[in-house]
């Protein structure tokens, strides 16, 4: 697979601690014609809605000539002190992300963490 602009996008950007909303996003490199998107995770405490995170991320990536697709959302509990992340819940606007895929993306940046997921809760 050739290196495209999407490969330069960070896999994960999440807050260092607390409970917050997140979205799972596919990133497509429009210019390369690459058919296989890159999945990224974005989660922040500042977001009132999942769409706030997606819109912010999509706007940044659009400036790099990258397309995006939101695959759903949920919540993350990030306990950086004990190296634990829990992924759960859903987004009312985007639906539930595949938390198993989210965990796979998170493990790239947090290989020494215990990362679990559940479809329970909001």
Per residue in 50-106, pLDDT tens?
999 999 999 999 999 999 999 999 999 999 999 999 999 999 999 999 999 999 999
Confidence class of residue 113 from pLDDT cuts 50, 70 and 90? very high
What pLDDT is stored for residue 114 in this prediction? 98
Asked if residue 68 belongs to a domain, the reply is yes
Asked if residue 101 belongs to a domain, the reply is yes
Of 55, 117, 56, the closest CA to residue 90 belongs to 117
Q: For residues 9 and 41, is the Cβ–Cβ distance under 8 A?
A: no
> Based on the structure, what is the number of domains in the chain?
1
Q: What is the pLDDT of residues 18-62, one digit of tens each?
A: 999 999 999 998 776 666 789 999 999 999 999 999 999 999 999
Q: For residues 34 and 28, is the Cβ–Cβ distance under 8 A?
A: yes
**Domain membership of residue 102 as a residue range:** 5-117
Asked if residue 26 belongs to a domain, the reply is yes
Asked if residue 95 belongs to a domain, the reply is yes
Asked if residue 122 belongs to a domain, the reply is no
> Active-site positions?
50
Asked if residue 42 belongs to a domain, the reply is yes
What pLDDT is stored for residue 1 in this prediction? 40
**Strand, helix or coil for residue 68:** strand
Domain of residue 43, CATH code: 3.50.20.20
């Amino acid at each position: 697979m050739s290196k495209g602009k999407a490969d330069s996008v960070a896999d994960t950007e999440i807050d260092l601690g607390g409970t917050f909303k997140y979205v799972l996003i596919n990133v497509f490199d429009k210019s390369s014609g690459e058919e296989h998107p890159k999945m990224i995770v974005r989660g922040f405490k500042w977001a009132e809605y999942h769409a706030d995170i997606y819109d912010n991320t999509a706007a940044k990536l659009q400036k790099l000539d990258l397309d995006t697709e939101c695959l759903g959302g949920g919540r993350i509990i990030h306990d950086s002190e004990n190296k634990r992340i829990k992924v759960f819940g859903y987004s009312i606007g985007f639906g539930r992300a595949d938390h198993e895929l989210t965990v796979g993306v998170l493990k790239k940046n947090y290989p020494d963490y215990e990362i679990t997921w559940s479809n329970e809760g909001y």
